[in-house]
A = this chain, B = another copy of it.
Amino acid sequence: MREFLIIGSKAKTDKFSLNDLPGAGRIDILCRCVSSAFFLSHDIRRDVNVYLLLLGPPDPPKVIKIVGREVKYMPPDERGIAGLIRKALEVKADESWKKSSPGIYVAKKGLEELLDETASDVYYLREDGEDVRDFETKDGLFVLGDHKGVPRELEEIILSKAKKIIGIPTKSLMAEHCITILHYELDRKQLNS
């Protein structure tokens, strides 16, 4: 199982306009991360889960969980994915996962609780991490920041839980591209094993 947790440091936690995703605390980035995490050509990766940790106003933190094995009717475009996120934000959230549409859940949880819940090994993606190509695993929960990076107090939590910091040594990349490359390198390991 591959899991991705993307930290939306400013992402809105209430209804937002589908016509201005960047203005909703860069929900556009989270949508592209979801698309990169799940979509193949004419197929969806069923062995993937995505967690979006939304830390913007008015009601942070909220987490949206997308379960690849269950998800239905999810299109790969930003607006389509944003519509599903917005629908999840309309649900009255509490500490337990509440389903908003097939395979999509929402809860009021913070980072620490979320990381404590996962059965996967936790890896943190940061530019100075170990080269992803030398990294010896096919699975795990991979934690990424958005355009603002990860706030320091959250980074401390991640580092206390993470097995390793991994990085992509070529360029400073956007989160969605890191996910695509991570999949690619892990797929290659699977292909060669």
Contacts and interface: CB of A to CB of B under 8 A. Distances in A.
Nearest to A174: B41
B40 A171 contact: yes
Interface of A: 18-19, 21-22, 28, 32, 35-36, 39-43, 75-80, 147, 168-174, 177, 180-181, 184, 187-188, 190-191
A53 to B, nearest CB: 19
A75 B186 CA distance: 30
Given A42-B172, A78-B77, A147-B41, A35 B32 contact: yes
A173 B41 contact: yes
A147 B41 CA distance: 7
A188 B174 contact: no
A97 B77 CA distance: 29
A84 to B, nearest CB: 14
B41 A172 contact: yes
